[in-house]
Amino acid sequence: MSSKKISRALVSVFYKDNLDPIIHFLGKQGVEFVSTGGTQDFIEKLGYKVTPVEKLTGYPSIFGGRVKTLHPAVFGGILYRRDHAGDISQSEEFKIGPIDLVIVDLYPFEETVAGGGSEADIVEKIDIGGISLIRAAAKNFNDVLIVSARSQYQELLELLQEKKGASELADRKRFAAKAFDVTSHYDSAIFNYFNQVQQLPSFKASVTQGKVLRYGENPHQQGVFFGALEDLFDQLNGKELSYNNLVDVDAAIHLVKEFDGEKAFVIIKHTNACGVATAHDVKTAYLKAFQADTISAFGGVLATNQKLDLAAAEEINKLFFEILIAPDFESQALELLKSKKNRIILKQKQPLKVVKQFKSLLNGVIEQDLDLKTDSAADLKIVTKRKPTGEQTEALLFASKICKHTKSNTIILAVNGQLLASGVGQTSRVDALKQAIEKAAAFGFNLKGSVMASDAFFPFPDCVEIADQQGIEAVIQPGGSIKDQDSIAYCDQHNMTMVFTGTRHFKH
């Protein structure tokens, strides 16, 4: 039969919050409880009789609690098939009673790792009995209902109330799927902890939260975001984030993070920066960033690393934009910005802590370390006769930070604290430079005295020649070409300064 009435429940959980309504409901239905340890005490304090697991197994909890439920009297009661003559006969022979409901959660392994626990503490949080009970009950979904996490308690209670202490096959299969989601995630977390050291060539990523998006990159594509976005942001206004919104938000917060300790503002369009600036206040930083490309900023994603005040909000409010991100907002500023109901306003609650990135590729997945290297003054090798001034060095490092977050091939033109123009995603570095020069001219910038950053080395001296013709005086690049000397020689002949970082920043 599809409908199964619950008569006996095994309950053994680490987290007991919100469990009591379920215990009360089952108890009033006359369900027999089987439990152990702290959960047994919890149920008994609620006023219900409990059969200790030790009474079923004939063994006490041994080896410091490592072995409690691993016994045929427990697993037999879960796994035996109620419609199988052989199983029924053996259950009678060995006096194994059926268990119809299993409520079990797992030791907090991930929480212990995240909390900086010792290896001994972490290893003790690798659940053995619990995960075995979950898998057993989920496997026998034809007869057993499995509840594998406290997040499922409310759903279970509503189900029991609706169906008067019974469950249908569809219910049990749904909870079984949730159970295997829990166990597979748990095992992945354990493997990834050990693999930090072992570095086995195996890829396992598990995210248990997902949100279906309106669509993917385009309306004919489906899209889902997997992750706990609410841990990173509070959305204070606006419509739901789309696939493309999320991609641009990711680009914006990675770029603005480069300017910790400074007051910075960035404007992103299709993952590339069309405006970046630092200044003594947010309003000035925004106006300088906006100045770099007043056209592309329309419909862009804006981000700052400072509390956004009313003065900045009054300027930003003049622009049509999709998203604004800040660590905090003055109340008057927020009230003004919320005047447009569709504007997405995000309060970033914590910095990103991601150190790896991956994506599907061909018939597999490709993974790499995140590019966490930010070029600093200590990295610079001056390769020309002319040395950069202090201001030029600051401008070069500023441009290098933007370059790192721009699609290759890329050239960044800047002065200290302001992006002037960029050439992005070009098939040649010369094309990227020409694009940047043309864009700078279109927005009224004179490049004399500015600096140039390149994400990779110059295979030929053509880029420094073109830069020189525009009045650009300083260049930062990784170096590493067999023809580096040609570019160095040109700079020396034309009184330019150039530094090598030794680090390439391709971005594809």
Mean pLDDT of all residues in the chain? 95
What pTM was estimated for this model as a whole?
A: 0.88
Q: Which residues are catalytic?
A: 139, 270
Give the model's pLDDT for residue 110: 94
Structure tokens belonging to residue 284 = 């000035």
Q: How far apart are CA 93 and CA 390, in angstroms?
A: 88
Pairwise CA distance, residues 316 & 297, whole Å = 11
CA–CA distance, 379 with 310 (Å, rounded to integer): 39
Q: Output the pLDDT for position 174.
A: 97
Q: Could you tell me if 325 and 250 are in contact, meaning their C-beta atoms sit under 8 angstroms apart?
A: no
pLDDT level of residue 2 (50, 70, 90 thresholds):
confident
β-sheet with 411-415: strand ranges across: 233-237, 344-348, 323-326, 301-304, 263-269, 272-279, 418-423, 411-415, 451-454, 474-477, 497-500, 381-382
Non-local CB neighbours of 211 within 8 Å, separated by 6+ positions:
224, 225, 226, 229
Q: How confident is the model at residue 1 (pLDDT cuts 50, 70, 90)?
A: low
pLDDT tens, position by position, 343-363: 999 999 999 989 999 999 999
Q: Is 466 exposed, middle or buried (0-12, 13-18, 19+ CB in 10 A)?
A: middle
Q: Report the pLDDT averaged over residues 325-332.
A: 98
Residue matched to tokens 């149920």: 43
What confidence tens digit (pLDDT) does each residue in 381-409 have? 999 999 999 999 999 999 999 999 999 99
Name the residue among 241, 478, 250 with its Cα closest to residue 354. 250
With 0-12 / 13-18 / 19 or more C-beta atoms within 10 angstroms meaning exposed / middle / buried, residue 246 is middle
**Own/partner long-range contacts of 28-31 (Cβ < 8 Å, ≥24 apart):** 29/160, 29/164, 29/165, 31/6, 31/7, 31/101, 31/165
pLDDT at 118 exceeding the cut of 90? yes
Which position has the token pair 């600093």? 376
The whole-number pLDDT of residue 67 equals 80
Find the largest Cα–Cα distance for the chain. 97
Q: Is 443 in contact with 421 (CB distance < 8 Å)?
A: yes
Give residue 393's identity as a one-letter amino acid code.
T
Task: Tell me: pLDDT of 270 over 70.
Answer: yes
Pairing of strands 50-52, 4-5: unpaired
Strand partners, 275: 267
Total number of residues shown for the chain: 508
Cβ contact 102:156 at 8 Å: no
The DSSP bridge partners found for residue 35 are 52
| DSSP type of residue 141 | T
User: What 8-state DSSP symbol labels residue 152?
Assistant: G
Helices (H) and strands (E) in the chain, counts: 19, 23
Distance CA(77)–CA(51), nearest Å, equals 14
Residue from 76, 68, 25, 75 nearest 46 by CA: 25
DSSP 68-121: SS-SHHHHHHHHS-TT-HHHHHHHHHTT-----EEEE----HHHHHHTT--HHH
User: Is residue 70 scored above 90 in pLDDT?
Assistant: no
Q: Give the per-residue pLDDT at 31.
A: 95
Going by C-alpha positions, the residue among 315, 316, 303 that lies closest to residue 264 is 303
Mean pLDDT of 194-208: 91
Judged against a pLDDT cut of 90, whether residue 293 lies above it is answered with: yes
The CA distance from 171 to 5, in Å, is 13
- Contact present, 463 and 435 (Cβ < 8 Å): no
Average pLDDT, integer, range 408-433: 97
pLDDT band at 58 (very low <50, low <70, confident <90, very high): confident
* Closest residue by Cα to residue 101 from 162, 148, 45, 42: 148
